[in-house]
Amino acid sequence: MSSEPMMIDVRGPRFSAAITFVVLSVAFLARLEALLAFQVAIFAVAALAGLRWSPYGNVFRFLKRRLNWGPPPETEPEAGPRFSQVMGLLFSGAGLIAVLMGADALGWALVLVVVALSGLLAATGLCVGCEMYGLGQRLRKRKAA
Amino acid sequence: MSDLWIYLAVVAVTAAVGLWWRARDGRARDVVDRFDAGEIAALGAPTGTPLLLEFVAPRCSPCRATRQVLDDVAALWPEVGVHAADVGDMVEIARHHHVLRAPTTFVLAADGTVHGRISGVPQPGEVGRLVEETLTGSGHGPRGRGGVSADISVEAPGRSRPGWALRRARARLAR
């Protein structure tokens, strides 16, 4: 019924999550709104234009070729990771808006959520966003059934 | 400075969650559960035989990896069947058994009693161990009765490819 899903190397999202973790950690610890805004923009590109356009994803692909990291050990449909980018955009975007409006505590707390989840993905491969996406898909199927 | 403490606390909690998840993922959990004959028939699986039942979802590559593991185990124990059921098709049964994640594997005795369930790709040796316990009819069967389980656990550390360990064990048994 649906078209063939685009499959991506599972290492890509983990690599991107590692960069995100570092960027947002620095932004939080140094209270750098500009760096936070930068990360929000990164999320926006991947979420809206698709993972093919993800800046960190492109760095990953470049390094993969250059440093010869070999073929993917496993591939996954891009839908889950893309949904995670949307979640990242929403949380970090909301955080940025809160910070710019003066609600520092709330704003940076939202950023910490993204720090935690991107750290988790980078370190363990557990993508909470992907799991939520899968759960959502199954719940939608149940409603339709 | 308090920012740093907050940050470290968040990282520590996240690391704890990560470790907890890693420890559980692919490992068998003891549950009190049973699939009755009606459910097994509805799933299209063979009744009255020990069964490796995997709940899958479309386009789920860990589900395929899991199927490979289950097929390898079933090759070692021919009396054990393997069956895959789609979570989306078998909605009611999945819900009844609290299946939230794909892949989720149940190791069933011939009467449908669940001897263990595994979320995610099974760790090496986990399924074989459960099958041995199921077939010997004991809740806590001895590990390494000169059999397959201990060798698999020792030879295939961490998250290496399960199929490799099982194939080697099979070769060892065949000797």
pLDDT in tens, B113-157: 999 999 999 988 899 999 998 888 754 433 434 344 433 433 334
Tell whether A3 is within 8 A of chain B (Cβ): no
Residue A140: per-residue pLDDT: 75
Task: Give the pLDDT confidence of A7-29 residue by residue, as tens digits.
Answer: 899 999 999 999 999 999 999 99
Q: Which pLDDT tens digit goes with each residue over A79-136?
A: 889 999 999 999 999 999 999 999 999 999 999 999 999 999 999 988 888 888 877 7
pLDDT digits (tens, 9 = 90+) for B38-47: 999 999 998 8
pLDDT tens digits, one per residue of A25-61: 999 999 999 999 999 999 999 999 999 999 999 999 9
Instruction: Quickly state the pLDDT bin for B172 (edges 50, 70, 90).
Output: low
Residues 6+ positions from A118 with CB-CB distance below 8 Å: A17, A18, A20, A21, A24, A88
Taking contacts as CB-CB distances below 8 angstroms, the residues of chain A near B21 are: 124, 126
Tell me the pLDDT of chain B averaged across its residues. Answer: 81
Which chain B positions have a beta carbon within 8 Å of A124's beta carbon? 18, 21-22
* Token pair for B146: 């000169």
Give the SS3 label for residue A75.
strand
A140 near B CB under 8 A? no
pLDDT of A126 reads 87
CA distance B28 to chain A (A): 18
Percent of chain B with pLDDT over 90: 47
Q: Can you tell me the mean pLDDT for B53-63?
A: 86
Q: B87 and B56 in contact (C-beta within 8 Å)?
A: yes
Nearest CA to CA, how far is B122 from chain A (Å)?
Answer: 15
Indicate the residue of A112, A141, A145 with minimum beta-carbon distance to B10.
A112
Are A112 and B13 a contacting pair at CB < 8 A?
no
Q: Is A4 exposed, middle or buried (0-12, 13-18, 19+ CB in 10 A)?
A: exposed
pTM of this structure: 0.75
- State residue A16's pLDDT score: 97
- Does B63 score more than 80 pLDDT? yes
Nearest CB to A138; choose among B13, B14, B88: B88
Measure A76 CA to nearest chain B CA, in Å.
6
**Contacts with A27 from chain B: Cβ below 8 Å:** none
Which residue in B136, B131, B160 sits closest to B148, CA to CA? B131
CA distance A120 to chain B (A): 6
A72 CB within 8 Å of a chain B CB: no
Q: Which residue has the higher pLDDT, A66 or B168?
A: A66
Which 3 state secondary structure label does DSSP give A24? helix
